[in-house]
A = this chain, B = another copy of it.
Amino acid sequence: MNIFRFFAKESSAPAARDRLQVLLAHERASVGDNDLVSKLREEILAVIAKHVKVGDDQVNVKMDRGDQVSTLAVDIEIPLEKDARAA
Contacts and interface: CB of A to CB of B under 8 A. Distances in A.
A80 B30 contact: yes
State the oligomeric state as a number of copies: 2
Contacts of A24: 20-23
Interface residues of A, number: 37
B27 A21 contact: yes
Interface string A3-30: 1111000000011111111111111111
B23 A18 contact: no
A19 B15 contact: no
Interface of A: 1, 3-6, 14-30, 34, 36, 39-40, 43-44, 47-48, 50-52, 64, 71, 73, 80
